[in-house]
Structures are given as structure tokens and as C-alpha cells.
Amino acid sequence: MRFAELIEISKNIFDQLPWLIEVLIIVFLAGFLNWILKRYYHKIILRLEKTKIVWDDAFFDAAKKPLSVLIWISAFAFSTNIINEHIKLIIFSSVLTLYKICILVIICWFLIRFITRFEMNIIASKRSIGEEIDQTTVDAIAKLLRISVIIIGFLIALQSIGYSISGVLAFGGVGGIAVGFAARDLLANFFGGLMIYMDRPFNVGDWIRSPDKEIEGTVEKIGWRSTIIRTFDKRPLHVPNSIFSNISVENPSRMSNRRIKETIGIRYDDLSKMEKIINDVEKMLKNHADIDTTETLMVNFNEFAPSSLDFFIYTFTKTTDWAHYHKIKQDVLLKIINIIESNGAECAFPTSTLHISPGTDIPNQEINK
């Protein structure tokens, strides 16, 4: 018996099978393919994670769940098509259109997952090798891509079910005005977030504060509606993005240096030693390893205060780290105290001098009081 005859016989036998068995075979094949997917797909992803390429493991990791759903959706579509050939029902007439929409949803789902995985992988890969990466920019680009996928997918879905895209866009222009009035706060926050991404007053990880509002802490996340700031007492603070367009924001994280500005007072009895003390303090600052001598450095006699002769120091440290800055400041102040003491002077403190005219009779009890 020839091979072609065997094929013909097999085809005739298959054509005579009840349609219910055909449906069961399709369901069985779908289950079998899903079993293979769950059993071997994870091993493929583990191998891809060992490579230095960022997008490959993101692609396959993002495709796992959509691929599994696609298998079952396809099995459902083929099964309903077979059923529709034997049982004519109106409900089965729109299966093809529904199948197209499901395919479109799965593709959009996959693209969104891929963008998210790729964003996470590129940030992790840069940090693993010690390279700096602008997480705010990466996050903004990823969000714009996800929104673009959703909008394009929605428009294609409308066209596939018979709606005119031009009509939808025209309606969107008119309806957008009404939506704008109804959701003006939401839109204000959205455009506020967009301005943050464009103007870049701060990034994720920056320490920011506002003199206009009680806002201070480290930026944890910049969303489309609000920005999450972790305060120094570890409380999460959610600030609507529209707020940042109406307040001034300081970003200490972007300082090139930190400033030391202090006023020190010595006693009036040490007036003759003031010049020597000022010169020694200035020399100490110029030779200090952590002081930036390329910036402004000033040590000057400043004021005849009520209880002291005051001089001030004005200089900048090389570091911008907050903890390290305070250690440097402490070291500078301690060295100034040593300089004052080495010159035989003392730091002043608030005092009051009482002058009693000669011949004034003051009872001992009043003096003791």
C-alpha cells in the first residue's frame, strides 16, 4: 500500500469522526502545548539570563503568560468554528471578530510586559556593573511607550469592530473639552508630572525640600499623578504633581559643595589677640584637606557684640555628602577652639557687668540676693 493511499484512508477516517471528538482533540493539544511550555520554558529563560544581552530574557519572560493564553484562545476559536459548522447559532457568528480582538489584546499585553521587563533589566544591568543610570528618564520613556501601546491597540480594536477611527478622533476632540473640565485636577497632575520629566528639577533618589511647603525628603517614585517622597522620619509623603508648578523646590543633592558659615566670639579681654587668631584660622582652613580652596574662603573680624568680639568663617567643603560634611564641620570647629586656646584666649559667653558708684551703700542682704 502506497503512502498516498494511507494518507487518503486516514483522511476519510478523520472526516467521519464526530465533531465532538475533533473539539476534544483540539483541547487536548492545547493542554499538551501548555504543559510543554511550563516544563521547558523556564529552562530557556534561565539560560538566557546568563547572557549579557538585556532584551532577550526580557522578551521571553514577557512572552510566557501571553503565549499560554494565546494557545487557549486559539483552541477556543478553532473549537467554536467546528461547533458552528454543525450547530448554527447566532452567538458563534462573531467568534472571528472576538478572536481578532483577543489576539490584539494579547499582543498589547505582551508589549507592555516586554517594556516593563526591559526597563527593569536595563536598570539592574547598569547597577550591577557600577554604572550610573538616569532612572527618571528610563521610567518616563517606559511609561510613554506603554501609553502609546494602549492607545494604538484601542484604536485598532475599534477599527476591527467597524468603528471609524476618524470619527472617534473627531468625537475625542469635542469630548476632550468636557473631560478636561470634569477632570481638570487629574489633568493638572498629569501635565505636572510631564513637566517634571521634561524640566528635571529632581530625579529618583534626590533629596529635595520646599521652603513654601513642609516638603522634605528623598524622592522614591515619580508617577503621572503624584510623586512619592520618603521623609527623614521614614514616612511616605504623596505630593500631587500639580503642586510642584506652584512652589519653589530646592535640590541639595545637586550641590557642588556644602557651605560652612559660623560666627565665633572671644572675650573683650582678648582684643589684642584677635588678629593673630584670625590669621591662624585662615591658614588652618587653607591647609585643610577637606576644604575647597577654589571657592570663597573668608575669615574676618565681624562685630562688637554685647558680650563678645565676633569673627566669622565662610568656606566650602569638597564633599556634598551630608554625614561627611558634619564630620568636616566638627573638625574645623574643634581646630578653631584649639587655635583660640593656643593663643591664650577664650571663647566668650553672655555676661553682664554691674558697675556700682563709689559711696553707694548696699546692704549685705541685697547683695546676697
pLDDT at res. 4: 61
Task: Concatenate the DSSP letters of all residues of 328-349 into one string.
Answer: HHHHHHHHHHHHHHHTT--B--
Residue 196 is assigned to a structural domain of this protein = no
All three cell numbers of 343: 593663643
> Is residue 10 located within the same domain as residue 143?
yes
Backbone angles phi and psi of 260, in degrees to 5: -110, 115
Residue 356 is assigned to a structural domain of this protein = no
Work out how many domains the chain is built from and give that number.
3
pLDDT at res. 365: 52
pLDDT at res. 69: 83
What domain range includes position 247? 201-253
Q: CB count, 10 Å around CB of 75?
A: 19
Angle of CA points 325, 331, 336, to nearest 5°: 125
Q: Scanning the structure block, which residue is given the C-alpha cell 551703700? A: 361
Q: CB count, 10 Å around CB of 91?
A: 8
> Is residue 66 located within the same domain as residue 35?
yes
> Is residue 72 located within the same domain as residue 174?
yes
Residue 120 is assigned to a structural domain of this protein = yes
Residue 101 is assigned to a structural domain of this protein = yes
Whichever domain contains 206, its CATH number is: 2.30.30.60
Model-wide pTM > 0.85: no
> Is residue 230 located within the same domain as residue 263?
no
Backbone angles phi and psi of 308, in degrees to 5: -160, 160
pLDDT at res. 222: 84
> Is residue 291 located within the same domain as residue 320?
yes
pLDDT at res. 324: 93
> Is residue 216 located within the same domain as residue 321?
no
Mean pLDDT in consecutive groups of 10 residues from the start of the chain, 369 residues: 56 57 75 76 64 70 82 79 65 69 87 86 73 70 84 81 64 54 65 77 88 88 86 90 86 89 93 93 94 94 91 94 92 95 90 71 55
pLDDT at res. 294: 92
pLDDT at res. 132: 65
Residue 119 is assigned to a structural domain of this protein = yes
Residue 348 is assigned to a structural domain of this protein = no
Task: Concatenate the DSSP letters of all residues of 138-193 into one string.
Answer: HHHHHHHHHHHHHHHHHHHHHHHTT--HHHHHHHHHHHHHHHHHHTHHHHHHHHHH
Residue 316 is assigned to a structural domain of this protein = yes
pLDDT at res. 98: 78
> Is residue 170 located within the same domain as residue 221?
no
pLDDT at res. 367: 46
pLDDT at res. 359: 67
